[in-house]
Amino acid sequence: VSPPKELAEICKVSTSADDLANYGKDWSMNYAANPSAIVFPETIEEVQKLVLWARKTKTSLVPSGGRTGLSGAATATSKEVVVSFEKMNKILGFEPVDRTLTVQAGVVTEAVHKYAEELGQFFPVDFAAKGSSQIGGNVATNVGGVRVLRYGSMRSWVSGLTVVTGAGDILKLNKDLVKNATGYDLKNLFVGSEGTLGLVVEVDLKLTTAPKNTTVLVLGMESLGSAPSIFKTFRNKLNLSACEFFSEIALKKVLALHNLSRPFESETPFYLLLEVEHQADDISESLFPVFEECCEAGWVSDGVISQSATQAQSLWNLREFISESLSPESPYKNDISVKVSQVAAFSRELESTFKKDYSNFQVVLFGHIGDGNVHVNILKPNAMEKSEFIAICHEADKTLFAIVEKYEGAVSAEHGVGLLKKEALHFSRSAPEIELMKTIKRAFDPDGILNPGKVFDA
C-alpha cells in the first residue's frame, strides 16, 4: 500500500508489512498491531506538519519510542499512523553550569547514561529496558525504575520540554528553569501523559554526581510482610538507594535461563535486594549491626553482602533479568502500588486472593517494594488457550483492584494506563478527576488525534 502523497512529502514513511507489525506494538503483546503507516520525522517542523496534516485529515497518531511500554500505550490497533522518534536521536548539548543535557526525544536512555558518564556526571533514572527505551517514552510514562527511592522518577530529572500539542502548537515548557512561579506547571502535565496531549520532541535533563561507592545486599525473607520493617531499619541508618524484592519463583525463572548463582544456599519464599550508597571504601562496620538487627528481629533468615562491583552486578542481575526471563511464558502483568507502610497488610490480602483466584496458576511477584510497588505476573499454563487465560485474569483483576482501592493504591504504579488498565482507572481515580483529565485532553488535542483510546475514552 502506498502512503498518502501529502504524508510522504513531510518525512520518510513506511507501509512495509514488517514495519507495520514491528512499530505497531509495544512490549505488552496483548493487542494486534494494525497501523496504516509509520512515519519517521527528523525535525520539530516535520512533527508539527504531521500534526497539522492529521488534524486536516482526521487521522489518529500514535507516538512511538522504544516500544518497551507494558500497557499497550504505544500500540496502533485501528489504522492509526505511528510516529516513530527513532530518527530524532541527537544529543544536542550539555550546559555545565546548569548541569543540563538537552536531547531529542528519540535518544535511547542508555545513551544518556553513557554520555553523562563521559562527562563525569550521572543520570540516575535506571531500569531494565534502558537499552531500547527512549527519553521521549520515558517522559511520556514518567518512568520509575530501580532508584526512585533515592532519586525520584523521570519527573524529577526533566527541567524543560519542547512539545508539539495536538493542536499543532510548539510549546517550550519551563525552559530549564530551577524556579518558575508563573502559573500552572504544564511541563509536569506532559510527564506521564502517555502521548495523549502532545508529542515530546526535545527534553532538558538534569544530571548529578555519581555515588562514590555502592554495596548491594540480598536478604532472604519468610514473608513479604517483613519488607517494610527491614526497609525502615536500613533507611533510617544508611543511605539506601534501592529496595527491591523478588520471590523464589522469580529467582528460579532467572536461574533457569541465565548463568547466575543463587545469592546464598538456602531457599526462602522472598528476597530483598538493598543497595546502599557510601563515601567510605569499606562500610562493614556500619552495615553489619543493621543486618544483625534484622536477623535478630526474625525478619531476615539469610543474606549476602557484595564484596566487589562484579558481585554487586551479579546480584542486581538476579532482579533485573526477571521481566525478560518471564516473557517466553506470556505473563499477565499487573503493576500496583500502595503506601510502603501498607505493604505488610496489603500483601497478606494479596496472598489470600492468589490462593482463591489464581490457584491453578503460577504467580510471580517482584518489584520496587521500597516504593510500595509490586509487579504481579501470572503465567499462562501451557495447555490453556490464551483467550481463556486472559478472561480468567480479567475476572480476578476485579478482586485485586478492589483491594488496591481499599488501600488507596494505584492500579498502575509505573507502567501506565494505556489500553491495559483503562477499564480499571476508576479504582484509583475518582469520576471528577477522570472528567478533569478529559477536559485537559480536549484543551491540548481539540480533535482527539493523539493516541485516542489510551488512558480513557474521551
Write out the residues near ligand FAD by the rule CB under 6 A. Answer: 26-27, 62-70, 73-74, 85, 105, 127-129, 133-134, 136-138, 140-141, 143-145, 194-195, 199-200, 323-324, 414-415, 451
In angstroms, the CA 174 to CA 180 distance is 7
CB of 428 to ligand FAD, least distance (A): 16
257/280 with CB nearer ligand FAD? 257
CB of 290 to ligand FAD, least distance (A): 26
**Cross-strand bridge partners of residue 304:** 218
128/207 with CB nearer ligand FAD? 128
CB of 112 to ligand FAD, least distance (A): 12
82/287 with CB nearer ligand FAD? 82
Residue nearest to ligand FAD (CB): 137
345/434 with CB nearer ligand FAD? 434
109/268 with CB nearer ligand FAD? 109
CB of 212 to ligand FAD, least distance (A): 24
CB of 305 to ligand FAD, least distance (A): 24
247/323 with CB nearer ligand FAD? 323
CB of 367 to ligand FAD, least distance (A): 9
CB of 421 to ligand FAD, least distance (A): 12
287/378 with CB nearer ligand FAD? 378
CB of 331 to ligand FAD, least distance (A): 11
194/357 with CB nearer ligand FAD? 194
Q: Which three cell numbers stand for residue 91?
A: 544529543
194/277 with CB nearer ligand FAD? 194
CB of 75 to ligand FAD, least distance (A): 9
Q: Which three cell numbers stand for residue 286?
A: 556500619
SS3 readout for the chain: CCCCHHHHHHCEEECCHHHHHHHCCCCCCCCCCCCCEEEECCCHHHHHHHHHHHHHHCCCEEEECCCCCCCCCCCCCCCCEEEECCCCCCEEEEECCCCEEEEECCCEHHHHHHHHHHCCCECCCCCCCCCCCEHHHHHHHCCCCCCHHHHCCHHHHEEEEEEEECCCCEEEECCCCCCCCCCCCHHHHHCCCCCCCEEEEEEEEECECCCCEEEEEEEEECCHHHHHHHHHHHHHHCEEEEEEEEEHHHHHHHHHHCCCCCCCCCCCCEEEEEEEEECCCCCHHHHHHHHHHHHHCCCCCEEEECCCHHHHHHHHHHHHCHHHHHHHHCCEEEEEECCHHHHHHHHHHHHHHHHHHCCCCEEEEEEEHHHCEEEEEEECCCCCCHHHHHHHHHHHHHHHHHHHHHCCCECECCCCCCCCCHHHHHHCCCHHHHHHHHHHHHHHCCCCCECCCCCCCC
